[in-house]
Copies of this chain bind each other. A is one copy, B any other.
Amino acid sequence: MLEQCERSSRIYDGHILNLRVDQVALSDGAKSIREVVEHRGAVAIVPMLTNNRVLLVRQYRYAVGKELLEIPAGTLEIGENPDTAANRELEEETGYKAHQITKITEIYMAPGYATEKIHIYLATNLQPSKMQLDEDERINIEPMFFAEALRKVRSGEICDAKTMCGLCRAQEVLG
């Protein structure tokens, strides 16, 4: 069912994303247009504290116009290994280092138009370190019981896709 690119137009090369528009031939020869948001990929981490608590972060999300409660996450640096990025982002966003960090899933966020894949990790045995936010990041840390986070998924208070996927997979892995 492959689709072949016949012509590609670069529309925008930006800071966290690029946009291109391709003319493609579908598997049966029909033509169509595919708008593609290029994104380097990202990591997200489910950081477990002692006592079955999880560390979430609350931040204003300009694109959707509201504050969201999420697992810590961040974009890969150019050429950066996802494992390295997961350790880096966890420390930068939460001020904790993990002695154990394991990938629990990889997901495509919007495969209809975006290349972005997020690598999701489970981090345990956390130890306080030094928080170091990006220049344009304003983040509040919110530790809570894991069961409370799952309740917030059910109630709709947690409505970020990577966070829902991460908590769901972590619940299974933690048993």
Interface residues of A (CB under 8 A from B): 1-3, 11-12, 14-17, 19, 21-22, 24, 26-28, 30, 32-37, 39, 59-64, 67-68, 70, 73, 75, 105-118, 135-136, 138, 140, 153-154, 156, 159-162, 164-165, 168-169, 172
Q: Identify A111's interface contact among B115, B116, B160, CB under 8 A.
A: B160
Chain B residues with CB below 8 A from A1, complex form: 59-60, 67, 138, 140
Question: Copy number of this protein in the oligomer?
Answer: 2
> By DSSP majority rule, is chain A's interface helix, strand, loop, or mixed?
mixed
Q: B108 near A110 (CB under 8 angstroms)?
A: no
Chain B residues with CB below 8 A from A59, complex form: 1
Question: What are 10 A-B contacts defined by CB distance under 8 Å?
Answer: A11-B11, A17-B113, A26-B136, A32-B136, A61-B108, A68-B111, A70-B111, A110-B161, A161-B161, A165-B165
Rounded to whole angstroms, the CA-CA distance of A118 and B110 in the bound complex is 10
Q: A64 near B17 (CB under 8 angstroms)?
A: no
Rounded to whole angstroms, the CA-CA distance of A68 and B109 in the bound complex is 12
